[in-house]
Amino acid sequence: MVAQKVRTRFAPSPTGYLHVGGLRTALYNYLFAKKMGGDFIIRIEDTDQSRKVEDAQKNLIKTLEWAGIIADESPEHGGNFGPYVQSERLDIYDKYCKLLLEDHHAYYCFATHEELDENRQLQIKQGLQPKYNRKWLPEEMGGSIPPSVIQKKLDEGEPYVIRMKVPDYISVWFEDIIRGPVEFDSATIDDQVLMKSDGFPTYHFASVIDDHLMGFTHIIRGEEWLSSMPKHLLLYEFFGWEAPKVAHLPLLLNPDRSKLSKRQGDVAVEDYVRKGYSAEAIINFVAMLGWNEGEGSEQEVYSMTQLIDKFSLERVGKAGAVFNVDKLNWLEKQYIKNRPTEKLVAVIKPILLAELEKREPLMPLEMITSETYLEKVIELMRERVGFEHEFVTFSSYFFFEPEAYDEESVKKRWATDTNDLLRDFASILGSLVEFSAENIEAHLKEFVAPKGMKAAVLIHPLRIVASGVSFGPSLYHLLEVLGKETVLRRIQVGLEKISSSV
Ligand code: GLU
C-alpha cells in the first residue's frame, strides 16, 4: 500500500488579528506536514458572517508568511481542493445536509430563540445539562411531529435550523495523538445545529465536510475543540467517511497559570511584530509552547529547518504551556547576537534614515549611514540591544549629539577636579595619531597612574560627556568609533554644560 501523503490545515476565522495561539496551531500543522513530506493548507472559516472582519483574511495570511509559514494551498494562492473559503462552498454544505435529512440523521427545527432560552433555563433549574429538548423531532425519527406539519411550516417560509440527531445510548471513543484515548457518552452530546437559519452551516458541519473533501490526514488544533470531537465523529460516521487522526494542543497560560488573556499582555502576533520582534525569535518561542525535543536536549535556539527536522506530535505535552515573554526577549537577543552583520545593516539603515529626517546627524550623512560605520556600531552594540530598532534608539549617541546628560550619574561621578582632569586628558587625546581603543586605554592609564588615581575616576565622566548616559559598550571602543573630532567636541561641550550645572 502506498502511504497517504500527509495533509494538515490551519482553519482560522477571519474575525481580526492572528492570535499567538493561532500562530502556534498553524506552526505545529506546518512543522508536522513538512516533517512528513506533506502539504500544509490554509482554509478560511467564515461561516459566522456577523463576526467577519474586512481584510482579516489577507492579514492572517500575510502574518503567517512573515513568520515563514507558507501554505501549499490557500485562498490567496489556490490549489486543487478549493475554494478555500467556506462562504464560497455553500452549495457543497447544502448537498451534504440534504443527504443527512434523507438518511434521517438530521431534522428541521422551528423552535424560536425564546423557546430555546426558556427550555435552557428550566433544565438549569432542574440541575440538568442544557440540551435541545427535541420538540421538533419528526415522527419517523422517534419524535412526535408528523411530516405534514413540517412540510406546512416549510411551505409557509417559517425560519428554521437543521439539527443532527445524536444517537441514544452510545459512547463515542477516539484516540487523540496527544491525550490518548478519550470517551464521551452520547447523553452529554447536544443535537447540534448543522445549518443556521441564515442558510450558512455551523462551524462543526462545514469543518467536517471540508476536512473530508480536502483530504486532511491529521487535524491539529487547540484544546478548546476537544469537546466538539464526538459531534464531528458522529458526522463522519453518518457519511461513512474515515475520520482523520486528531491532536489537541495544550492551552496557553499567563505566567500566573490562568488562561492566556489580553489583560496580562499582548496576544496578537501583529503587536509583537510592531514591537520589533523578529520572525525567527517568535517562531522559536511559539514552537516551545507545548513542544520540547526531550531526551536531555539542552538546545533552546532552533531555526525553522531544525524545527521541521525535530518536531513530533508525540513530544507535545498535555499540560498548559506558560507564555513567558522574558523567554521571548531572551531568544530575540540570541538571534541579534548571532545575526550576520550585513542582515542587521539592511534592517537598521531604513530605520536610521527615517530618524535622520527628523534629527540633525552628528556627522555628514554619508559617513553615518555608511556600511563601515554601521558595522562598527553593530559590533559594539549587538550584545546590548533587545531589538534591532534599538541599534538606532538605544545607540543614538553614535548618530546624534546627546541632548542631555544623565543627571544622577553626573551627581555621582563629578568631583571638584573632574573638569580639570577631562580638560587635561582631552589634550592628550588630541595629540594621538592613532585614535584606537588600545591606544586610548594605554594613554588613559598612563595619565591616571602618576596621580595615584583609579582609571574609573576618568572613565565614568568621559563616558557621560561622550554619550550622555552612564552605561554602554567598552568606553575605549566607543570613543574609537565616534572618532577623535567628535570625542574632543563632546568633551568641550560637556565641560561647558556640566560645569555650569554642578
Ligand atoms: N475556525 C476554528 C478556529 O478558528 C477552527 C477550529 C479547527 O481547527 O477545527 O479556531
CATH number at residue 458: 1.10.10.350
**pLDDT for 498:** 87
Annotated catalytic residue 262 = yes
Residue 182 CB neighbours (<10 A): 16
Hey, what's the torsion of the CAs at 44, 311, 245, 186, to 10 degrees?
-90
CATH of the domain at 308: 1.10.1160.10
DSSP for 391-434, written as a single string: HHHTTGGGTS--S---HHHHHHH--TTHHHHHHHHHHHHHH-SS
Q: Which one-letter DSSP state was computed for residue 257?
A: S
Helices (H), 72-202: 90-102, 113-125, 147-155
* Distance between start and end Cα atoms, the chain: 86
**pLDDT truncated to tens, each residue of the chain (502 aa)?**
567 899 999 999 999 999 999 999 999 999 999 999 999 999 999 999 889 989 999 999 999 999 999 999 999 999 999 999 999 999 999 999 999 999 999 999 999 999 999 999 999 999 998 999 999 999 999 999 999 999 999 999 999 999 999 999 999 999 999 999 999 999 999 999 999 999 999 999 999 999 999 999 999 999 999 999 999 999 999 999 999 999 999 999 999 999 998 888 889 999 999 999 999 999 999 999 999 998 788 899 999 999 999 999 999 999 999 999 999 999 999 999 999 999 999 999 999 999 999 999 998 999 999 999 999 999 999 999 999 999 999 999 999 999 999 999 999 999 999 999 999 999 999 999 999 999 999 999 999 999 999 999 999 999 999 999 999 999 999 999 999 999 999 999 999 998 755 5
**pLDDT for 375:** 97
Measured by CA distance, the residue closest to atom 10 of ligand 1 is 12
List CB contacts of 1: < 8 A, sequence separation 6 or more.
none
Measured by CA distance, the residue closest to atom 5 of ligand 1 is 11
**pLDDT for 1:** 57
Q: Is 365 part of a structural domain of the chain?
A: yes
Q: Which of 95, 98, 262, 337 is catalytic?
A: 262
> Percent helix, strand and coil across the chain, each rounded to 5?
50, 10, 35
Of the candidates 325, 319, 311, the one whose C-alpha atom is nearest the C-alpha of residue 282 is 325
Same domain, 414 and 494: yes
Same domain, 442 and 418: yes
Separation between Cα atoms, residue 62 and residue 45, nearest integer Å: 17
Q: Which one-letter DSSP state was computed for residue 31?
A: H
Same domain, 414 and 484: yes
**pLDDT for 232:** 98
Q: Is 65 part of a structural domain of the chain?
A: no
Same domain, 414 and 482: yes
Distance of CA 425 to the CA centre of its chain: 51
Q: Which one-letter DSSP state was computed for residue 266?
A: -
Same domain, 495 and 470: yes
Q: Is 461 part of a structural domain of the chain?
A: yes
Of the candidates 140, 139, 122, the one whose C-alpha atom is nearest the C-alpha of residue 131 is 122
Range of the domain at 374: 339-398
Separation between Cα atoms, residue 43 and residue 211, nearest integer Å: 10
Q: Is 7 part of a structural domain of the chain?
A: no
Separation between Cα atoms, residue 399 and residue 348, nearest integer Å: 12
Number of domains in the chain: 3
Domain boundary among 336, 354, 384: 336
Q: Is 184 part of a structural domain of the chain?
A: no
Same domain, 301 and 349: no
Q: Which three cell numbers stand for residue 229?
A: 470531537
Measured by CA distance, the residue closest to atom 3 of ligand 1 is 12
Q: Is 138 part of a structural domain of the chain?
A: no
Q: Which three cell numbers stand for residue 207?
A: 469543518
How much distance in Å is there from the Cα of 86 to the middle of ligand 1?
Answer: 12
Same domain, 302 and 381: no
- Ligand 1 atom at minimum distance from 220 CA: 8
- Ligand 1 atom at minimum distance from 11 CA: 5
Phi, psi (deg, nearest 5) at residue 133: -85, 5
How much distance in Å is there from the Cα of 111 to the middle of ligand 1?
Answer: 27
Same domain, 326 and 343: no
Separation between Cα atoms, residue 104 and residue 412, nearest integer Å: 85
Separation between Cα atoms, residue 346 and residue 61, nearest integer Å: 25
How much distance in Å is there from the Cα of 10 to the middle of ligand 1?
Answer: 8
- Ligand 1 atom at minimum distance from 25 CA: 8
* Burial environment of residue 243 by CB neighbours within 10 A (0 to 12, 13 to 18, 19 or more): middle
Q: Which amino acid type is present at position 65?
A: E
How much distance in Å is there from the Cα of 203 to the middle of ligand 1?
Answer: 8
Separation between Cα atoms, residue 489 and residue 319, nearest integer Å: 60
Q: Is 361 part of a structural domain of the chain?
A: yes
Same domain, 311 and 351: no
Same domain, 414 and 491: yes
Separation between Cα atoms, residue 409 and residue 416, nearest integer Å: 15
- Ligand 1 atom at minimum distance from 221 CA: 8
Same domain, 319 and 357: no
CB 241 within 8 A of CB 105: no
Measured by CA distance, the residue closest to atom 4 of ligand 1 is 12
Q: Is 473 part of a structural domain of the chain?
A: yes
**pLDDT for 261:** 84
How much distance in Å is there from the Cα of 301 to the middle of ligand 1?
Answer: 29
Mutating to test ligand 1, I would choose from 7, 28, 219, 225 the residue with most ligand atoms within 8 A of its C-beta, which is 225
Measured from CB, residues less than 6 Å from any atom of ligand 1 are 11-13, 45, 203, 207, 221, 225
Separation between Cα atoms, residue 431 and residue 115, nearest integer Å: 93
pTM value surpassing 0.85: yes
Same domain, 454 and 412: yes
Of the candidates 383, 419, 416, 410, the one whose C-alpha atom is nearest the C-alpha of residue 467 is 410
List CB contacts of 179: < 8 A, sequence separation 6 or more.
226, 248, 318
Q: Which three cell numbers stand for residue 286?
A: 511559539
Q: Which amino acid type is present at position 460?
A: H
Mutating to test ligand 1, I would choose from 9, 41, 207 the residue with most ligand atoms within 8 A of its C-beta, which is 207
How much distance in Å is there from the Cα of 45 to the middle of ligand 1?
Answer: 7
How much distance in Å is there from the Cα of 91 to the middle of ligand 1?
Answer: 21
Separation between Cα atoms, residue 114 and residue 112, nearest integer Å: 5
List CB contacts of 500: < 8 A, sequence separation 6 or more.
none
Residue 502's SS3 state is coil
Measured in residues, the chain has a length of 502
- Ligand 1 atom at minimum distance from 228 CA: 9
